[in-house]
Structure 1
Amino acid sequence: MPVPTLRACALLAAGLAAPALALALDLRQAYEAAVAHDASIRAARAQADAQRERLPQALSQRLPQVALNATRNHNDLTTRSTDPLGQPRRWNNDYYSGSQALSLRQPLYRPGVSAQIAQARAQVEDSNALLERDEQSLVVRVGEAYFDALLARDQVALLQVQKASHLSQLDAARKSFAAGAGARTDIDEVQSRLDMTLAQELEVAQHVEFTQRRLEVLTGQGAAVLAGLDVQRFAPAPPQPARLEDWIARAEAASPELQALRAQREAAQLEVRKAEAGHLPTLDAVAQWSRSQSDSVTSIHSRHAHRSVGLQLNVPLYAGGVVSSQVRQALASEERAREALEAARRELGVRVHQEFRAMTEGVLRVRALEQAVRSAQQALHSNQKSLQAGTRTTLDVLQAEQQHMAALRDLAQARYRYLMGQLNLRSLVGEDRAGNVAGVNGWLVR
């Protein structure tokens, strides 16, 4: 009986995909499609665009403020009085009144505006860093969806090979039993394993459909055929640089998440300055031109024009303690932002350590499992030969075959986990997204 190998499983999967091989989707294409299609990343871009408008809004506080006001009224005046003889008199007077006023205000000294502009710049940096964090997160989300889909299809291929082997064993056991050389137990044991394999096949088929749907929702493209891992060329290597401390230092310097929190801390510090400016005076230059016509009952049909230029000083004296309260509030917010940054820095070090170990230990695990697959394959071959010689039972062969399939499955998981570790690690340190995807995509074959 032939021993199912990982190459045989790969060939089986490739054979199933052969009719649509030209349409195979690789990781780079999936990522590019997700960049254009994913709703959450489009929402993040829109949020960043909205936050960037804070800066021109703040800068506008330094520019002149010009306003024009105009009114036009129709007046119906009824007057009642008595003449010198005591007789009542009444007369009506209809007239139009109106006014126009043009005013200009140029801020000269407003310390709160300077703090507000600097704070707006920090908030724009925060929004840009948060967008970069979400963009980096998209790399990881696409990678997880893609490799989950590949692993599910690998499991289907393994189960199909295992099912074919069980069917072959079941046929041989029945023929041997009919010839009087076998035992009913052999048939029952193989039938039990076959039934379990069929049940697993149904479960895995559902998982394949789920992972395919997940990837299609993310990319907006069909994902029926995916580029698989080229196991012949796949050669995992430890991350470079090889020191964990170097990766942590790079992450602390370039992590989009930390950049966003640093910008938030700076914005909180500037909020303190802006609140303290509530105690300081402001100075504006003002100019006004106004014209009025029939502006009162005593000046009907008269016109007035007024022009003024000057300075306006505003000195806050007492506002009920609200400014002091705002300063205390801003100081507390600054403390919160500072501690949030420190907590995120520590957490980032733990995550970098986790992904760094996933790559370094992943190299050793892949090599160990490759050896385990070879050993399990040899053990299966030996048990099959021993069964033919009568020194092993069908149950021994079934157990050896189960170990072989488990080793193949674990090896596939280890390979994909290594690739995800690479995506995660480089994403945490803020490396170029397209380069990160291309580095992993190079191991795939369409």
Structure 2
Amino acid sequence: MAQAKKSKRLTSLCRGIAWSAGLLVVLAGQQMKAETLADALVGAYKTSGLLEQNRALLRAADEDVAAAVAALRPILSYSADLTRDFGDRRSLTTTGSSTLSELESTTGTIGLAASLLLYDGGATSLGVDAAKETVLGTRQQLISLEQSVLLRAVSAYLNVVAAREFVSLRQNNLRLLTQELRAAQDRFEVGEVTRTDVAQAEASLAEARSGLATAQGDLLQAVEEYRNVVGNTPGQLSPPPSLPRLESNVENARARAIQSHPDLRAAQHFVAVAELNILRAKAALNPTVSAVGSLGVSEDFGNSDYTRSGSVGIELSGPIYRGGALSSGIRSAMASRDSQRGNLIEVRKQVSQDVGNAYASLAAQRASLQASEERIRAARIAFEGVREEATLGARTTLDVLDAEQELLDAETSRISAQANLYVAAYAVLQATGRLTARDLSLGVQQYDPSAYYDLVKDAPVPSSAQGQRLNRVLRALQKD
């Protein structure tokens, strides 16, 4: 009998161990499925339509280089026509009589023409250089946009985390106020409090229900923003990781941003484009020299007549008078150059200001979080004290409700401060130009802006090996 009891206890113990192990496996599985901030950033990077749109714009800028390069190569063209002539012809003879004859003929012509630019004062070569600088500037704009997308993902992630904590906090507050109302009603029945105390508890409970409804609505909006930015509905979200490493000195961060921020680099490239456009406008005053050639075949199908012809030559052309259009083009290019220089100055100042603002916001959020912690500590002590004094009759129900509301406000402030601190930290990364997939070491296949450029920079034709590879890349892009 004792052996049977011992066996039963052992079986029960084994079942308990197995149940605990199963629970640990379930909890571990849930923890593994929890989305992290890095997961949200990867999702935003992969699914952003804004990034796809601007990557396509970059590829269009790459093709401008190919078009500019093609202008330096031979140009071959063909022409062909088939002509059917018909009609009547009347003619008079020397004797005064007339004859009528039909005019019918079919003529076919095939021609080839070729031209090669030999000299244009460097205008076309300058156009190639300008297109390349435009590509470099557009790449930097894409990096800047990538930073904005990732910062929005950080904000969306933390907003969901904070909104869920708000809802949980409001639910706990609602439960506590329900207990307070029940206690007030019990005390009213025994004559310890008045009807006013019960009414105050009822009012606080109604306000808590309203606050919970508002928090739930805010959570739904945060979820919609997350779905829009990240590309999926948020599941279980892990607490945010430790704050990213930042420059401790704002001036060092400012100097780094001025050297490497994508907005500033883009502005520098566009100044270079404007300078090249001035040289192109001036080069348009120079003569153009081209080598030209043609081959032609014309045959009359009604008889044996035919023509074979060809020509080779050098063409020289240049402007003499165009009503001031060329001079106007030069002045316009200079004005555009001045505009880009002014923009460069403003971007430099804005980058510097953004770094200062980001660090100021970060310091303010750190101080706010610290103050919220102190506020919670004091509010909790006050609430517990007031509630204890109320049981002794030294405090009213309103005093307890006010103390509880103060504690709720303090905890709400801390949740907001924590979320704002993380957003402020990542805003510092954006301000210094380091909020990119590469800088964050995200586990995602990063878009290579030079891959497409390397395929098209030499203006390949479809029949070439490089052109066939380019066609495969385009088909893959269309599938994506």
**TM-score band (shorter)?**
0.7 to 0.9
Structure 1 residues 19 and 379, CA gap change in structure 2 (3 angstroms): farther
Supply the distance in 1 between the matched residues of 2:262 and 2:135 (Cα, whole angstroms). 13
| Partner in structure 2 of residue 321 of structure 1 | 324
| Partner in structure 2 of residue 332 of structure 1 | 335
Structure 1 residues 385 and 199, CA gap change in structure 2 (3 angstroms): same
Structure 1 residues 437 and 144, CA gap change in structure 2 (3 angstroms): farther
| Partner in structure 1 of residue 264 of structure 2 | 258
Tell me, yes or no, if the aligned pair for 1:212 and 1:224 is still in contact at 8 Å: no
Tell me, yes or no, if the aligned pair for 2:246 and 2:429 is still in contact at 8 Å: no
State how 1:283-302 maps to structure 2 within 5 Å.
283-294=289-300, 301-302=304-305
| Partner in structure 2 of residue 147 of structure 1 | 158
Residue 120 of structure 1, aligned match among 131, 136, 146: 131
Counterpart AA for 2:271: R
Structure 1 residues 413 and 435, CA gap change in structure 2 (3 angstroms): farther
| Partner in structure 2 of residue 203 of structure 1 | 214
Residue 31 of structure 1, aligned match among 35, 41, 50: 41
Per the TM alignment, residue 35 of structure 1 is displaced from its structure 2 partner at its CA by: 2.1
Structure 1 residues 73 and 438, CA gap change in structure 2 (3 angstroms): closer
Supply the distance in 2 between the matched residues of 1:407 and 1:354 (Cα, whole angstroms). 26
Counterpart AA for 2:396: T
Supply the distance in 2 between the matched residues of 1:123 and 1:28 (Cα, whole angstroms). 32
Tell me, yes or no, if the aligned pair for 1:102 and 1:289 is still in contact at 8 Å: yes
Counterpart AA for 1:382: G
Residue 382 of structure 1, aligned match among 381, 385, 388: 385
Structure 1 residues 385 and 330, CA gap change in structure 2 (3 angstroms): same
Tell me, yes or no, if the aligned pair for 2:77 and 2:113 is still in contact at 8 Å: yes
Structure 1 residues 130 and 425, CA gap change in structure 2 (3 angstroms): same
Tell me, yes or no, if the aligned pair for 2:116 and 2:292 is still in contact at 8 Å: yes
Supply the distance in 2 between the matched residues of 1:18 and 1:157 (Cα, whole angstroms). 23
Structure 1 residues 348 and 366, CA gap change in structure 2 (3 angstroms): same
Structure 1 residues 435 and 326, CA gap change in structure 2 (3 angstroms): closer
Tell me, yes or no, if the aligned pair for 1:423 and 1:437 is still in contact at 8 Å: no
Per the TM alignment, residue 303 of structure 1 is displaced from its structure 2 partner at its CA by: 2.6
| Partner in structure 2 of residue 367 of structure 1 | 370
Supply the distance in 2 between the matched residues of 1:154 and 1:435 (Cα, whole angstroms). 31
Per the TM alignment, residue 41 of structure 1 is displaced from its structure 2 partner at its CA by: 2.1
Q: Identity over the aligned pairs, expressed in percent?
A: 24
Supply the distance in 2 between the matched residues of 1:302 and 1:436 (Cα, whole angstroms). 75
SS of 1:102 mapped into structure 2: strand
Residue 110 of structure 2, aligned match among 95, 100, 116: 100
Supply the distance in 2 between the matched residues of 1:435 and 1:401 (Cα, whole angstroms). 47
State how 1:51-130 maps to structure 2 within 5 Å.
51-76=61-86, 78-110=88-120, 111-130=122-141
Cα RMSD between the aligned structures? 2.4
| Partner in structure 1 of residue 17 of structure 2 | none
Tell me, yes or no, if the aligned pair for 1:159 and 1:201 is still in contact at 8 Å: yes
Supply the distance in 1 between the matched residues of 2:437 and 2:95 (Cα, whole angstroms). 101
Supply the distance in 2 between the matched residues of 1:390 and 1:18 (Cα, whole angstroms). 49
When structure 1 is superposed on structure 2, of 166-175 and 221-230 the one drifting more is 221-230
Per the TM alignment, residue 78 of structure 1 is displaced from its structure 2 partner at its CA by: 3.1
Per the TM alignment, residue 435 of structure 1 is displaced from its structure 2 partner at its CA by: 6.2
Supply the distance in 1 between the matched residues of 2:398 and 2:239 (Cα, whole angstroms). 34
Counterpart AA for 1:32: V
Structure 1 residues 437 and 208, CA gap change in structure 2 (3 angstroms): farther
Tell me, yes or no, if the aligned pair for 2:109 and 2:296 is still in contact at 8 Å: yes
Tell me, yes or no, if the aligned pair for 2:162 and 2:415 is still in contact at 8 Å: yes
| Partner in structure 1 of residue 193 of structure 2 | 182
| Partner in structure 1 of residue 10 of structure 2 | none
Supply the distance in 1 between the matched residues of 2:380 and 2:28 (Cα, whole angstroms). 27
| Partner in structure 1 of residue 454 of structure 2 | none
Supply the distance in 2 between the matched residues of 1:67 and 1:86 (Cα, whole angstroms). 52
Structure 1 residues 310 and 270, CA gap change in structure 2 (3 angstroms): same
Counterpart AA for 1:266: A
Supply the distance in 1 between the matched residues of 2:331 and 2:219 (Cα, whole angstroms). 56
Supply the distance in 2 between the matched residues of 1:88 and 1:283 (Cα, whole angstroms). 56
Tell me, yes or no, if the aligned pair for 2:151 and 2:435 is still in contact at 8 Å: no
1:427 aligns with 2:399: no
Supply the distance in 2 between the matched residues of 1:184 and 1:163 (Cα, whole angstroms). 21
SS of 2:71 mapped into structure 1: helix
Per the TM alignment, residue 19 of structure 1 is displaced from its structure 2 partner at its CA by: 11
State how 1:390-401 maps to structure 2 within 5 Å.
390-401=393-404
Task: Give the paired residue count.
Answer: 415
Supply the distance in 2 between the matched residues of 1:293 and 1:118 (Cα, whole angstroms). 47
State how 1:39-54 maps to structure 2 within 5 Å.
39-54=49-64
Supply the distance in 2 between the matched residues of 1:32 and 1:54 (Cα, whole angstroms). 31
Counterpart AA for 1:26: T
The TM-score with structure 1 as length reference comes to 0.87
Counterpart AA for 1:170: L
Tell me, yes or no, if the aligned pair for 2:358 and 2:431 is still in contact at 8 Å: no
| Partner in structure 2 of residue 11 of structure 1 | none
Per the TM alignment, residue 77 of structure 1 is displaced from its structure 2 partner at its CA by: 5.2
SS of 1:279 mapped into structure 2: coil
When structure 1 is superposed on structure 2, of 401-410 and 299-308 the one drifting more is 299-308
Per the TM alignment, residue 341 of structure 1 is displaced from its structure 2 partner at its CA by: 1.9
Per the TM alignment, residue 419 of structure 1 is displaced from its structure 2 partner at its CA by: 0.8
Supply the distance in 1 between the matched residues of 2:418 and 2:386 (Cα, whole angstroms). 28
Structure 1 residues 364 and 101, CA gap change in structure 2 (3 angstroms): same
SS of 1:96 mapped into structure 2: strand
Residue 268 of structure 1, aligned match among 257, 266, 274: 274
SS of 1:320 mapped into structure 2: coil
Supply the distance in 1 between the matched residues of 2:385 and 2:332 (Cα, whole angstroms). 76
Counterpart AA for 1:107: L
Tell me, yes or no, if the aligned pair for 1:71 and 1:99 is still in contact at 8 Å: yes
Supply the distance in 1 between the matched residues of 2:192 and 2:395 (Cα, whole angstroms). 14
Per the TM alignment, residue 432 of structure 1 is displaced from its structure 2 partner at its CA by: 5.4
When structure 1 is superposed on structure 2, of 369-378 and 53-62 the one drifting more is 369-378
SS of 1:228 mapped into structure 2: coil
Per the TM alignment, residue 393 of structure 1 is displaced from its structure 2 partner at its CA by: 2.3
Supply the distance in 2 between the matched residues of 1:211 and 1:438 (Cα, whole angstroms). 26
Tell me, yes or no, if the aligned pair for 1:105 and 1:287 is still in contact at 8 Å: yes
| Partner in structure 2 of residue 14 of structure 1 | none
| Partner in structure 1 of residue 478 of structure 2 | none
When structure 1 is superposed on structure 2, of 94-103 and 323-332 the one drifting more is 94-103
SS of 1:343 mapped into structure 2: helix
Per the TM alignment, residue 294 of structure 1 is displaced from its structure 2 partner at its CA by: 4.7
Counterpart AA for 1:90: L
